[in-house]
Chains A and B, each alone.
Chain A
Amino acid sequence: MYEIDAKDIYYRKLNETIRDAIRNHKRDLIVDNVCGQYYIGCGISEPDITITINGVPGNDLGAFMNGPKIVVHDNAQDGVGNTMNGGTIIVHGSVGDVLAYSMRGGSIYVEKDAGYRACIHMKAYKDMNPTVVIGGCSGAFMGEYMAGGTLILLGLTQSKKKPLTGHYLATGMHGGAIFIRGKLNEDMLWSEAETVEPSKEDIKNISKNVKEFCKIFKIDYNRVMDEGFVKVQPKTSRPYGDLYIPGP
């Protein structure tokens, strides 16, 4: 265990300290008093690293990351897991906008809500299948241009004032699957995606990830699984195939 105090330290210096610690074979890092420092874990590729963050990390947490595990004991801000390639991010709280933009591998667990534009252009490739579980609700444009991976939205914080998700859900979606717990108002969808009943295989996938989510955040698994899920899937992998014709 290696402790770093981030109080009043500029992000560039803090990230340098973290990289230096990893270079010096520290595997279990605890960063205290984090207050908005950007790019923590950005581009780190060593697989067996754990970075525990006490405080609120700044934007682009774990961007281009490829292996470590980051645990945040507070909320996180925008751009969590931006273009992430592998590893795990756990947020004990809510995250800001642009969660998991273009994420290609690894998993992200958010205890509470996500902001706008979550999981845009998330994609899968061969054995790389990114998974995002959002415990609460999300804003508009979730899963836009989604090309692969699994996104699970549980809506545990849903209330009369707080809708499950926003408009333009899965616009331009052409791969992957979104599982939403509870009922989904079809008006939320744009024209490229459709809702179906999850298959047996899907349910297996959901319960595996929900089990992990419940274990992490100490939530009653049976209570979560009590309600059914809706699957949002793309109508085709080539939504704009007919849009263009050869020119002159």
Chain B
Amino acid sequence: MITAGIDMGSRSVKVVLLEEIKVDGAPQLNYAVKKAHLMMPGDIDADQAAEKAFTEALAAAGVSRDQVKSVFATGAGRKQVEFATEGVTEMTAGARGAVYMYPQARTVVDVGAEEGRGIKTDSDGKAIDFAGNEKCAAGAGSFAEAMSRALQLTLKEFGEASLRSDKSIPMNAQCTVFAESEVVSLIHSATPKEDIAKAVLDAVASRVCAMVRRVGIEGNVVLIGGMVHNPGFVQSLKNAMDVDQVLLPELPEFVSALGCALIAAERQH
């Protein structure tokens, strides 16, 4: 049986095709990811973007649409995925995917382009507590992206630059627009780019950490969402949470789509 999970984010569409593997005598069902496909839509029509990403994923996996038993959607644009069988919240999908990958994980930190959130989960991957914040770019990836543009660095350079700094420069602005003017002031005062990059990522980490502390840091912490690709942010978040180790999936942006596909599969039984 094949199921699909679609994470309709604000910047990209993630599709995971999951296949159930029957293992004789196994105590539980096993699954294998058949295809993980990411698409950055060039237009703003979310439904068309989801359709295109899903079609591309099917083609890449050599799977026909009829073979997919169920399609579950999550993410900010999940209601716009008209062909989805059902939608689940980002908290439910993220928790399920994270615990599937790391059964010992009990705290999930999800930071994507638009939003960040902290989730506490039980051993079954069911979200039992979550904290989100007002829709605000200052706690998410788009803020880091805007600030890297202000510093004329690529996102990769931006993250790596912050790791070269050991300075702590507080950023007071709560809003991307005002934060950008703080960054411009720092540039004009000849503050090294790596120190500014660290200040920005520390500010994002601080906002995210406040949400994680609301639900409480318990057990192993797993980070999911596209911001995990930024090593500077990961370090800033570890410092803010005062934890030595966090679990980092290889493809962190697909974890919620994976969770969705798993829930879709489980509801077939």
Q: Do A and B come from one complex?
A: no
List B residues at the A interface (Cβ < 8 Å): none
